[in-house]
Amino acid sequence: MSTDPHSAVAAAIRRGELIDLASADIPCVDCGGKATVYDHRDYAYPLDVEPVCRSCNSKRGSALNSHLGSGIINFRLSTRMLQRIEWAAASEGVSVSEFVRRAGLEYLERRERDLGWVEVNNNGA
């Protein structure tokens, strides 16, 4: 399989693993309109896609582009979302990066409490 996510989707369509949206009446998973493209939320998973219309694809923004080995995660935000984050960071007197780090940590801590997360060490214990 190709490492380029869009090429992987095209190949999957040719193999019949994904429906060709150009010739099928598949609804957009977001708005119910006619889906015209497959959207990636994370390019690390090239065939983990959802059928969406072009408008919803634009609203969703770019896919997550993970580089977890380096500890860096790059992603795009809508202008409005970035403005909201910049405002919130400024109101707390921290950088955007620090604000996002804190928000992510708070979210994960809440989810771990809600789901009963148990950390597993490297020995599997």
Q: Calculate the average pLDDT of the chain.
A: 82
Confidence category of residue 125, pLDDT binned at 50, 70, 90: very low
The tens digit of pLDDT for each residue in 65-86 reads 644 445 556 666 778 888 998 9
Mean pLDDT of 96-119: 82
Mean pLDDT across 98-116: 85
Going by C-beta distance under 8 Å and a sequence separation of 6 or more, which residues neighbour residue 103? Answer: none
The total of other beta-carbon atoms located within 10 Å of residue 18's CB is: 17
d(Cα 33, Cα 54) in Å, to the nearest integer?
10
Task: Tell me which residue of 63, 40, 35, 62 sits closest to 51, measured CA to CA.
Answer: 35
pLDDT of residue 104: 85
Q: Rounded mean pLDDT of 95-118?
A: 83
